[in-house]
Structure 1
Amino acid sequence: MDMLYLQVFSEPENGWVLVPLETLITVFMVKYCFGTKIKMIMVVKQDSTPVFQIKVLGMNYEVLQKESLPHTAKLCVLPVILVERSTCVAGLCAVLRQLIKTIVAEEPSHWSRTLLGFREGCLVACAESSVWTRFCEVDMIATTKHLIVGSMSKTEVIIPEDIARFEVHMAQPIRMHNVQKKAQELMKKCGKTTYDVGDLGIVEHCFAEGPTMTLADVILFPCLHIVIESIRSVYLQQNIPLIMKWYHNMCEQDGIEESLSIFNTIPSKLVDDMYVIYNVPDVPKQSIYKSDPRRYKPRNRIFTRQEDVDASLLVVDMLGLSVDVLEPPFGNEVEFDWRSLPYDAQPEGGHLPASRRERKSQQLENLTKAVLKVAQPGHTIVDFCSGSGHLGIVLAHLLPRCHVVFLENKEESLTRARERVKKLGLSNVSFCQCNLDYFVGHFDIGTSLHACGVATDLVIQCCIKERAVFVCCPCCYGSVQNNHIITYPRSKFFRDSPMTLREYLVLGHSADQTHDENNVKTDQGKKCMGIIDKDRCLHASEAGYFVSLAKLIPESCTPKNNLLVGIPNEWQDASFYD
């Protein structure tokens, strides 16, 4: 059985324990879905997050001091699940999904499998790319915590914006792969042989994702329970009627009321609501499944208008910015021979299609050389967005005295990497299935090959925080967007300039137009690509890094061929620059 580790703030006393909200939600789901089938390991670890008291009497758990936490489990923010002691699964959505899969692996007919939704895709996308996952895993968690610790006016209650978003969401048409089929079935029950578009409305939005309960409901319910109990008032019904309908529907589901027994009494923040004014903020009238309404959208998803690009490039010209490219790239002189590696450590050993093997090998060689130049025995190297492990496996084989962490949020990709590592007999590796923001382990070198859009900036930010070297080859420049962790532009130089966010994002979209050497937009795309990466270099330089921007050799190995290497100033050694 996989091991579930949860953070608690105290050892249980009389069956009650102090916990953060993420632990509360996890324990709620364990009690609702699994009872005592899942053993919880409660790690006593203090923090500054809001504290909740829950009842764990009768549940299956043991207490562990943080000093005794296994090494791999220490790499990520709790809660985590440890799989085979070498793989850490972190992030609330990923952990709860893994719990269900763990039980289903032993009991294939266990009912909790239905919570994973159609094709088991519920909340599978990461919070950086999915607005819905971010709402469930980040936004509602933050809203609930803020409500608990914040003060409230005695004369006015402003319903939190995320509550208003969920209310509007519940009023929108449901997202469902077979909604028309369901409508047909319901129409037949009503004695009709045909249906029209208006009849689709009969398929009710009973739960967060449609007519059936999913994992999203199980995550959102504890948060909404706390919110509703905190603003306990008869006036909530008229202000958020759809949420209240959903809430009462959830309470009627088998097992929910019993699972609520883990909650201690939640005090109301209202003394007397008779004279309180309730305000619901205006939010976009759309489903939360839709793209973030704050996100810039070009008029065409593929090509940006030329006048927009010209305007953005004019601002760059006014700044007098030059994009200097290092020749040859950092580490190019390091010796490297693919023939010295086992077959299974090479791209073809990873079952890469023949059409991509040579180019993939060239990409990997560039990044590997840069890492080899700075790596020292005892270093920990993190291969961010590691996929099926092409880069990490090469590094782990060539640097047996270093420890390599494979970090990837896609379960299938990480499974393939684990299989390859096992086949090669590599023992100097660990695996983390999570988003970058859940990784908290110490490391010395961070690397990423074609981490898409925001992910590259998350890698660089993580490296700067740890004062680690970064070796990155970015990708998907058009995907850079402000989110709950990263904002753009990255550097103070650009932020203090006249360039607007929209002008900056236009450059990002244009930077993706580099796929065809015969295309008239390609040179312009390369220029824009250099500008975005120059911003990244300036950001790292402002943080006390020596940074180089170069091109992979040969440049034809990929259209996204910029190589960014950053070394903390305190690391500087003359041998790096000979």
Structure 2
Amino acid sequence: MEKVGIDDECLYLEISNYMEDRIFPLHTSIVLFLMSYCDTTSLKVFLVPNKNVADCTLWMKKVPANIPASIISDQELPHVVQSCCLPAVVEKNGNFCRAGLAVVLRYIIHKTCEADCNRKDISELLGFKKTCLKACAEDSLGDCQEQMLKALPLLSRWYRHVQEVSGVKKAAVSCGIRFLNLPATSPSSSMLTPSSSDRKDKNTETTDPHFRGGPRPTMNKLEENGISARFSPHPFPLLSQNWSSFPLSAHPIEGKLSSERALRKQQQLDNIISIVTKLAKPGDTIVDFCSGGGHLGIVLAHTLSSCQVILVENKEESLVRARDRCDDLGLQNIWFLQTNLDYFTGPFQIGVALHACGVATDMVIDHCIMANAAFVICPCCYGFIQNTVKYTFPRSQKFKSVLSYKEHMILCRFADQTAVQLPAERRLIGKNCMGLVDLDRAWSAEEYGYKVYVTSMEPDSCSPKNNLIVGSCSV
């Protein structure tokens, strides 16, 4: 293996056995294609064979000539890379990692434009606010075949247009990519008009005789079945940090907050840290999911120096701000991972999240359950909760036996009615709806052998979204 220095910025790509006519996994081929197109030379490239690869020499021959690459085993990967899915880029100091296809592609584009500000052909690959990737209207098709492209005229038209962009064909040849030859198409009328089944589904939504609107009927229905919001006392209500002794870079006010917001943030952190401190053991790994600017993770790393803390956040600006604060503190026990939550795959003992938005709370809970890790989570944005491919609501069997999805969504929508300017009675209903939604989450985790309780942060004024869901594996 080629030696990696601390001043090297490294890109790690997966290689695997042949799949039909593909040499590399699709995500690796896409990254190599973009690097060839951009003529990027600022990253050291390492190919990481999976366990099924016997001979790596073939893959080395297939890497574009303008991209020097080396082979590295998964055991030799930096620790932060071992905790996430490939592709991944690690910065020079080794504690800041960008993982996942979209994140890596954006970073390659940014690095190319930094090196040559005249590369407008590269910068135009970025879309809104230069933070996303431009795409056609029809996307997320994955490994589509020619007949699928023909059936999707917008995607087909975009595919033909891409082939006409200067440099694309040259990069494709260097990567061994063969373009499909698609005929010109026009949008079909069937794609512009809702199908009869779509109209039927919408009519069903509005005429369902079993659907009962408003929070009170839904809450009454739960009470009739013995279900009501349950809040346990906070286990350590008076335990708080000595904030006056904290270095400025570890203080919430350093995160560009007003003094009033910084005080509320301190109170929120006190509530979570007091519980995590009692759960954590020396050598534990604590993951701050949806970390934002790192208010929670930085204080945890500062106060629990015997633990490793990982900040997982998909917004680069927030994570860079957190990294800069940690550099000022000289913290050695913290990593930064810019990626979607699903791409974090490493082991850990405690997961935390402060104001995880909508379904993100459920994603964090599931991630912790898969890792047999404890969790301390403050949910937020209940109104954004909705069924997805992976998550359906209600979550627990007890709630499913009583409520429909639509009734559960009533609870979620009214759970956001807790703002201080609202009437007291309305805020109380909102708090009860919050408690019911989080009770459903708690009972769902208990189905996996967890011991879970829902409590409130103190004082209540520290946040309108002041619930905490605390769970630990009882096995």
Measured against the shorter chain, the TM-score band is: 0.7 to 0.9
Q: TM-score, normalised by structure 1?
A: 0.70
Pair 1:28-2:33 in alignment: yes
Pair 1:440-2:345 in alignment: yes
Distance 1:559 1:66 in 2: 45
Report the CA distance between 1:385 and its aligned residue. Answer: 1.1
Distance 2:425 2:366 in 1: 34
Report the CA distance between 1:257 and its aligned residue. Answer: 1.9
Q: CA contact under 8 A between 2:300 and 2:309: conserved in structure 1?
A: yes
Q: CA contact under 8 A between 1:17 and 1:56: conserved in structure 2?
A: no
Pair 1:121-2:121 in alignment: no
Change (3 A) 1:323 1:106: same
Change (3 A) 1:108 1:525: same
Report the CA distance between 1:333 and its aligned residue. Answer: 5.9
Give the secondary structure class of the aligned counterpart of 2:230: coil
Aligned to 1:471: 376
Aligned to 1:78: 86
Aligned length: 438
Distance 2:62 2:41 in 1: 14
Give the secondary structure class of the aligned counterpart of 2:117: coil
Q: TM-score, normalised by structure 2?
A: 0.84
Change (3 A) 1:118 1:474: closer
Q: CA contact under 8 A between 2:136 and 2:155: conserved in structure 1?
A: no
Change (3 A) 1:285 1:455: farther
Change (3 A) 1:240 1:414: closer
Aligned to 2:9: 2
Q: Deviations over 1:83-133 (max 9, x none)?
A: 231111112111100111122222233331221134313249xxxxxxx89
Q: CA contact under 8 A between 1:551 and 1:563: conserved in structure 2?
A: yes
Q: CA contact under 8 A between 2:47 and 2:72: conserved in structure 1?
A: yes
Give the secondary structure class of the aligned counterpart of 1:115: coil
Distance 1:340 1:134 in 2: 53
Pair 1:381-2:276 in alignment: no
Pair 1:350-2:255 in alignment: yes
Output the amino acid matched with 1:463: C
Q: CA contact under 8 A between 1:380 and 1:444: conserved in structure 2?
A: yes
Change (3 A) 1:27 1:521: same
Report the CA distance between 1:242 and its aligned residue. Answer: 4.0
Pair 1:505-2:409 in alignment: yes
Give the secondary structure class of the aligned counterpart of 1:259: helix
Change (3 A) 1:60 1:351: same
Q: CA contact under 8 A between 2:137 and 2:154: conserved in structure 1?
A: no
Q: Which runs of 5+ in 1 are unaligned?
A: 125-131, 145-222, 269-279, 287-293, 300-304, 571-578
Q: CA contact under 8 A between 1:377 and 1:401: conserved in structure 2?
A: yes
Change (3 A) 1:69 1:528: same
Aligned to 1:533: 438
Q: CA contact under 8 A between 2:17 and 2:52: conserved in structure 1?
A: no
Q: Deviations over 1:300-351 (max 9, x none)?
A: xxxxx99432342233223321322111x13446564223422321112333
Report the CA distance between 1:18 and its aligned residue. Answer: 3.7
Aligned to 1:140: 141
Q: CA contact under 8 A between 2:399 and 2:440: conserved in structure 1?
A: yes
Output the amino acid matched with 1:511: A
Aligned to 2:157: 245
Distance 2:74 2:84 in 1: 13
Q: Which runs of 5+ in 2 are unaligned?
A: 1-7, 54-58, 182-187, 195-200
Aligned to 1:42: 47
Q: CA contact under 8 A between 1:76 and 1:88: conserved in structure 2?
A: no
Change (3 A) 1:311 1:65: same
Output the amino acid matched with 1:503: E
Aligned to 1:179: none
Q: CA contact under 8 A between 1:28 and 1:260: conserved in structure 2?
A: yes
Aligned to 1:399: 304
Give the secondary structure class of the aligned counterpart of 1:348: helix
Aligned to 2:184: none
Pair 1:318-2:328 in alignment: no
Identity, in percent, stands at: 39
Output the amino acid matched with 2:9: D
Give the secondary structure class of the aligned counterpart of 1:564: strand
Distance 1:69 1:461 in 2: 26
Aligned to 1:161: none
Output the amino acid matched with 1:487: T
Q: CA contact under 8 A between 2:137 and 2:155: conserved in structure 1?
A: no
Change (3 A) 1:74 1:338: same
Distance 1:336 1:541 in 2: 31
Distance 1:549 1:530 in 2: 8
Indicate which of 51, 60, 74 corresponds to 1:66.
Answer: 74
Q: CA contact under 8 A between 1:88 and 1:431: conserved in structure 2?
A: yes
Distance 1:47 1:383 in 2: 33
Output the amino acid matched with 1:79: P
Indicate which of 105, 117, 131 corresponds to 1:108.
Answer: 117
Q: CA contact under 8 A between 1:364 and 1:391: conserved in structure 2?
A: yes
Output the amino acid matched with 1:257: K
Pair 1:364-2:373 in alignment: no
Indicate which of 478, 481, 487 corresponds to 2:386.
Answer: 481
Report the CA distance between 1:543 and its aligned residue. Answer: 0.8
Aligned to 1:214: none
Output the amino acid matched with 1:116: L
Aligned to 1:56: 63
Distance 2:329 2:339 in 1: 24
Q: CA contact under 8 A between 1:311 and 1:503: conserved in structure 2?
A: no
> RMSD of the TM alignment (CA)?
3.2
313-322 vs 463-472, greater mean Cα deviation: 313-322
Output the amino acid matched with 1:140: L
Output the amino acid matched with 1:82: V
Report the CA distance between 1:25 and its aligned residue. Answer: 1.6
Indicate which of 164, 171, 175 corresponds to 1:259.
Answer: 171
Aligned to 1:19: 24
Distance 2:465 2:153 in 1: 49
Report the CA distance between 1:567 and its aligned residue. Answer: 0.6
Q: CA contact under 8 A between 1:331 and 1:372: conserved in structure 2?
A: no
Change (3 A) 1:333 1:315: same
